[in-house]
């Protein structure tokens, strides 16, 4: 990026405390009348603007006017946070009730704030909320999964038996055990040449969606089979989806209203940690 003097300092308000310089990745140094650009390594993370106790710094790439003051009374304590985090569950029984598109937008608007390597971001979402279309998607995923178990990428999967059972239930029960009869599937995409980074970023962003969903009365479930089928570039699936040529699918998340509500926080493997 060109060094275009994107840092503006209100020199009267700036106390030269150095917080902006200390948390910057290398762009800022402290000058005589406030922070200055040493080298343009700016990744537009917004730290410099967000940390200033006096609102003295503007970065035109992350403008001060777009940054929201933190309301301390809205921050949660550790006990509430632990219950909230542990309370997130994968939902596999969804109500048939459609999810309002406004709510989906609200969910995805939080996903934008998940961490990404070097603030790369770059994830777009393609939302499918047509039941019949979702059933067509499940049908092609079932075909792919059967092939993948026989001679494809799922052949040596440690969960092959479990996956085979999902498909046999799908074939025999008339239930959509693949997309769980969810009313909505969120498909994440990234630039084709950034598949690996995009997949990581998708997983972080979906984690935010999963955590935020219950606060809106919604539930979610990662669709591993959708993701594996799409990332294996299975043409019958790709040809159903209108994904732009220059983008690649990096994940899929099911969303809907949960039928059941959990009463307990489940246990997991014990914590394993070593110190040095
Ligand atoms: C990458 C990934 C893929 C997953 N794929 C599926 C899936 O295809 N079907 C499903 O029912 N659950 C799927 N899950 C949900 C996991 O089974 C679930 O996270 C795990 O059992 C722990 O339960 P919890 O999420 O309720 O804590 C997936 C989770 C992840 C992270």
If you write DSSP's letter for every residue of 174-187 in order, what string do you get? -S-TTTTT-SEEEE
Instruction: Give yes or no for residue 106 CB within 6 A of ligand 1.
Output: no
Query: Which atom, in ligand 1's list, is nearest to the CA of 266?
Result: 27
- The domain segmentation of the chain, as residue ranges, is 7-66, 79-256
The highest-level CATH class for domain 7-66 is alpha beta
Instruction: Give yes or no for residue 225 CB within 6 A of ligand 1.
Output: yes
Instruction: Give yes or no for residue 49 CB within 6 A of ligand 1.
Output: no
> What pLDDT is recorded for position 209?
98
Nearest CA to ligand 1 atom 21: 90
d(CA 194, ligand 1 centre) in Å = 24
Query: Which atom, in ligand 1's list, is nearest to the CA of 91?
Result: 26
**Angle of the 101-111 helix axis to the 195-212 helix axis, nearest 10:** 120
Cα gap 201→224, rounded to integer Å: 16
**For domain 79-256, is the CATH number 3.40.109.10?**
yes
> What pLDDT is recorded for position 237?
98
> What pLDDT is recorded for position 4?
78
This prediction's pTM: 0.94
pLDDT by residue, tens only, the chain of 276 residues: 445 799 999 999 999 999 999 999 999 999 999 999 999 999 999 999 999 999 999 999 999 999 999 999 999 999 999 999 999 999 999 999 999 999 999 999 999 999 999 999 999 999 999 999 999 999 999 999 999 999 999 999 999 999 999 999 999 999 999 999 999 999 999 999 999 999 999 999 999 999 999 999 999 999 999 999 999 999 999 999 999 999 999 999 999 999 999 999 999 999 999 999
232: exposed, middle or buried (C-beta count within 10 Å: 0-12, 13-18, 19+)?
Answer: middle
Tell which residue, 215, 231, 225, 216, has the closest CA to residue 253. Answer: 225
Instruction: Give yes or no for residue 203 CB within 6 A of ligand 1.
Output: no
> What pLDDT is recorded for position 2?
47
Do domains 7-66 and 79-256 share one topology? The answer is: no
Tell which residue, 272, 225, 270, has the closest CA to residue 251. Answer: 225
């Amino acid at each position: 990026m060109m060094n275009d003097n994107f840092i503006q300092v209100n020199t009267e308000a700036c106390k030269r405390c150095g917080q902006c310089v200390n948390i910057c990745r290398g762009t800022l140094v402290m000058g005589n009348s406030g922070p200055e650009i040493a080298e343009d390594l700016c990744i537009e993370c917004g730290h410099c603007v967000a940390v200033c106790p006096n609102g003295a710094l503007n970065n035109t790439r992350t403008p001060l006017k777009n940054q929201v003051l933190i309301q301390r009374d809205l921050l949660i304590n550790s006990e509430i946070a632990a219950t909230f985090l542990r309370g997130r569950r994968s939902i596999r029984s969804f109500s048939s009730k459609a999810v309002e598109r406004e709510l989906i937008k609200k969910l995805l608007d939080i996903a934008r704030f998940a961490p990404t390597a070097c603030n790369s971001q770059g994830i777009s979402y393609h939302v499918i909320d047509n039941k019949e279309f979702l059933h067509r998607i499940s049908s092609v995923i079932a075909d792919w999964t059967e092939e993948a178990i026989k001679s494809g990428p799922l052949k040596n999967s440690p969960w092959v038996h479990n996956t085979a059972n999902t498909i046999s239930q799908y074939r025999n029960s008339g239930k959509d055990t693949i997309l769980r009869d969810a009313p909505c599937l969120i498909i994440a995409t990234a630039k084709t040449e950034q598949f690996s980074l995009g997949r990581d970023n998708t997983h972080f962003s979906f984690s935010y969606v999963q955590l935020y969903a219950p606060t809106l009365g919604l539930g979610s479930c990662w669709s591993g089979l959708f993701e594996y089928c799409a990332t294996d570039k299975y043409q019958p699936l790709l040809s159903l989806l209108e994904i732009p040529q220059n983008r690649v699918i990096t994940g899929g998340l099911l969303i809907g209203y949960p039928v059941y509500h959990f009463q307990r926080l489940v246990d997991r493997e014990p914590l394993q940690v070593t110190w040095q």
